[in-house]
Amino acid sequence: MRIAVAGATGNIGALTAAALERGGHEVVRISRSLGIDLSAGDGLDAALAGVDAVVDATNAPATDRDGAVAYFGTTTRNLLAAEERAGVRHHVLLSIVGIHRVEGNPHYAGKREQERLVSEGSVGWTIVPATQFHDFAEMVASWTEQDGVATIAPLLVQPIAPADIADVLAEVATGEPRGRYVDVAGPEPQDLVDMARRTHEARGRQVTLRPTWSGIFDNGMAGDVLLPGADARIAPTTFDEWLAKL
């Protein structure tokens, strides 16, 4: 199959492209750095010629709610319109577990808009909601780290290895549209603060972590809000296994 990956130079996009190629598929990489601009639509028609399926693993720059909704809305509309013109039969969207249970988070608002557009569009679709990735805690801590100190919310998550979700996206893209897919998660719940501490230790870094709900993640995301549903697909790689490879 000829499959396009939007966001192909990002972490998950690159892993998904590699997984597809290991499976013998032809991959078209879509990224602004490769000359294809989703925001403007430049280069999309040529890139999607002969494409059977598209995996959207794009991410948005950090911004406010209106900015996130506008960004995801524009890029998704452009991508879906180009898919319709090219006769693409399957659009696979990587989304996030729990976004419909959380208000006030700008990124989640943008992802909800993205899901809405995909589910109301004319191209066959599958939305794959995933939990946070194993490297998420380190990334969140990096947003506020200053002079060896970082604030971080004590979120309860069930993280998944980036390579595992990439394998799922590649598998889904080669099949038929399935609508909303089950939640996809890693094997074990984890505390985000502890994840950040252990990741820093594995990298030989000393960072003082200060748990707080006063940052980008408030206490509306406390408890089991971000955990997967009971029928979730559980990926194999544990957080300890991922850490051991750092």
User: What average pLDDT does the segment 6-32 reach?
Assistant: 97
Burial of 15 (0-12, 13-18, 19+ CB in 10 A): buried
Across the chain, how many H-helices and E-strands are there? 8, 12
Taking only the tens place, the pLDDT of each residue in 72-81 is 999 999 999 9
Distances (CA, A) of 162 to 66, 99, 192, 202: 28, 19, 16, 17
End-to-end CA distance of the chain: 33
Taking only the tens place, the pLDDT of each residue in 100-158 is 999 889 999 999 999 999 999 999 999 999 999 999 999 999 999 999 999 999 999 99
> Would you say residue 88 has pLDDT above 90?
yes
> Would you say residue 60 has pLDDT above 90?
no
Residue 61 has a pLDDT of: 75
> Would you say residue 20 has pLDDT above 70?
yes
Residue 208 has a pLDDT of: 97
From its phi and psi, is residue 222 left (phi > 0), alpha (psi between -120 and 50) or beta? beta
Average pLDDT, the chain: 96
Confidence of residue 62 (pLDDT cuts 50, 70, 90): low
> Would you say residue 235 has pLDDT above 80?
yes
Taking only the tens place, the pLDDT of each residue in 206-229 is 999 999 998 889 888 999 999 999
Enter the tokens of residue 174: 């080669």
> Would you say residue 204 has pLDDT above 90?
yes
pLDDT-above-90 percentage for the chain: 93
Radius of gyration of the chain (CA): 18
Residue 216 has a pLDDT of: 84
- How many CB atoms neighbour CB 214 within 10 A? 10
Question: What domains, with CATH codes, occur in the chain?
Answer: 2-244 (3.40.50.720)
Using an 8 Å Cβ cutoff, are 223 and 154 in contact? no
> Would you say residue 167 has pLDDT above 90?
yes
Distance, in Å, from the CA atom of 122 to the CA atom of 125, rounded to the nearest integer, reads 9
- How many CB atoms neighbour CB 218 within 10 A? 15
pTM: 0.96
Using an 8 Å Cβ cutoff, are 81 and 38 in contact? no
Using an 8 Å Cβ cutoff, are 81 and 29 in contact? no
Say which DSSP state 25 is in. -
